[in-house]
Amino acid sequence: MSNTKNMSNTRHPFIPSATPPTWLGVMGGGQLGRMFVHAAQAMGYKVAVLEPAQDCPAGHAADHLLSADYADQTALAELAAQCVAVTTEFENVPAQSMAFLAERTFVAPSAACVSIAQDRIEEKRFFTECASTSGVLPAPYHVINSAADIDTAPDALFPGILKTARMGYDGKGQVRVKTRQEARDAYAGMKAAVCVLEKMLPLAFEISVLAARGVDGQSVVYPIAENVHRNGILFTTTAPSPHVTPESARKAQDATLTIIEKLGYVGVLCIEFFVLQDGSLAVNEMAPRPHNSGHYTIDACVTSQFAQQARAMAQLPLGDVRQHSPAVMLNILGDIWFKDSSGALHEPAWDKVLGLPGAYLHLYGKDEPRPGRKMGHVTFVAPTLAKAQQSLLAACAILGITP
């Protein structure tokens, strides 16, 4: 039976209450869900998490864990009945499940928004449609539905990057190809999945623009963050960006606000942009949720991205996005638990890291470190960006990470 009391587009805040408790729901049990749980609980909400794995970071913190498949309609109906609003912590939750929930409770972001972000082809088409207003295009690309499409791809797309249209993240599902033959070989290795061949652009650096939009249409945008990746995984985020020009920052923020408005989006949205060597911008991809590059907001901004997510889905006023301190965020991967080739685990020296000025340690509660696995992050805040970067360098030395 549908529960329509929470589905209106008219603004109707879901105020946190203790008796009876006000419940918010999240699809996904990873670290983003865990940090959302903490933020929502701090605001007075109880949180239910739907996640197939019983042992998961968000489940450890949640008030209620529904251990079920994301498409399990019985579990989805239970989540909808319990919660006044539901969100997602990752974009690959089935869009059909979000639509099922939306028939029974308030869902933000919508299934339609999540569906676009799940598919690189649809995402690039949407960015292209927005470009007449946003002024920012994605990199030139060609859709690869079959091996024959590689033969018809324009020569100008080489060298390029072959990316699977769906399920790629942290560098997965991506292969750099210099020639058409390399593209053929890479496509065969991807089991003939639908792909996008994207021209490799002369990149200077990458930035993230984090924004939020409420059900009433109000939008806010955070300061520009600058990212460095290693092996396709985010290594550091520096905020505010030390290299972006005021003109490029304004253009990226305006483009983000255009995109979030055209989507009719409700919630937190992160968009990555390439800043090219000539200073121009290209829009890369979007995440319909809080983002790894926005973790600095927990310790360096008035309103964290996770508190903002809770505000938007509860239809409360959006929070102040002002950054009160320069910050550098360091991703912590499972590699640092393995100091030698013996395979033995060594707990990192967190006491020494926490002894550094402005250090905030966030571990995600994962009990099995593995190389390349995100285990946590450390954010360094300071009166100046230079001092925050000094603490970052000191932490890298302590943890055995090449800066």
**Residue 168 scores a pLDDT above 70:** no
209 and 228 belong to one structural domain: yes
CB of 153 closer than 8 Å to CB of 180: yes
Q: 198: annotated binding-site residue?
A: yes
Strands (E), 114-199: 141-144, 160-164, 174-177, 195-199
Number of domains in the chain: 3
Q: 29: annotated binding-site residue?
A: no
| pLDDT-based confidence at residue 138 (cuts at 50, 70, 90) | very high
CA distance 171 to 191: 17
pLDDT tens, 24-44? 999 999 999 999 999 999 999
CA distance 306 to 359: 20
Q: 5: annotated binding-site residue?
A: no
* pTM listed for this prediction: 0.94
Strands 225-230 and 46-51: unpaired
Q: 284: annotated binding-site residue?
A: yes
Q: 250: annotated binding-site residue?
A: no
In angstroms, what is the C-alpha Rg of the chain? 21
CB of 41 closer than 8 Å to CB of 21: no
CA distance 351 to 354: 5
157 and 51 belong to one structural domain: no
218 and 314 belong to one structural domain: yes
CATH label of the domain that carries residue 312: 3.30.470.20
25 and 65 belong to one structural domain: yes
Q: 201: annotated binding-site residue?
A: yes
294 and 384 belong to one structural domain: yes
Q: 91: annotated binding-site residue?
A: no
pLDDT tens, 224-269? 999 999 998 999 999 999 999 999 999 999 999 999 999 999 999 9
Q: 168: annotated binding-site residue?
A: yes
Top pLDDT among 197 and 172 is at: 197
**Is residue 128 domain-resident?**
no
Q: 368: annotated binding-site residue?
A: no
CA distance 386 to 121: 40
**Is residue 113 domain-resident?**
no
**Is residue 367 domain-resident?**
yes
Nearest to 393 by CA among 385, 402, 383: 402
**Residue 136 scores a pLDDT above 70:** yes
Q: Among 199, 215, 241, identify where a domain stops.
A: 199
Look at residue 342 in the predicted model and tell me its pLDDT: 81
**Is residue 209 domain-resident?**
yes
Q: 400: annotated binding-site residue?
A: no
User: How far from each other are the two terminal CA atoms of the chain, in whole angstroms?
Assistant: 55
94 and 173 belong to one structural domain: no
Look at residue 146 in the predicted model and tell me its pLDDT: 94
174 and 71 belong to one structural domain: no
221 and 347 belong to one structural domain: yes
**Residue 85 scores a pLDDT above 60:** yes
Look at residue 170 in the predicted model and tell me its pLDDT: 59
Average pLDDT score over the chain: 94
195 and 249 belong to one structural domain: no
CATH label of the domain that carries residue 47: 3.40.50.20
Structure tokens at 207: 């930035």
Q: 199: annotated binding-site residue?
A: yes
53 and 154 belong to one structural domain: no
The predicted model gives 146-172 an average pLDDT of 89
pLDDT tens, 3-23? 333 344 446 899 999 999 999
Q: Among 107, 132, 153, identify where a domain stops.
A: 107
CB of 192 closer than 8 Å to CB of 184: no
Structure tokens at 87: 């969100």
| pLDDT-based confidence at residue 171 (cuts at 50, 70, 90) | low
The predicted model gives 101-121 an average pLDDT of 97
The predicted model gives 318-325 an average pLDDT of 98
CATH label of the domain that carries residue 145: 3.30.1490.20
229 and 173 belong to one structural domain: no
Nearest to 377 by CA among 314, 309, 331: 331
Domain range for residue 395? 203-399
**Residue 1 scores a pLDDT above 50:** no
**Residue 344 scores a pLDDT above 90:** no
Look at residue 358 in the predicted model and tell me its pLDDT: 98
231 and 85 belong to one structural domain: no
Look at residue 78 in the predicted model and tell me its pLDDT: 98
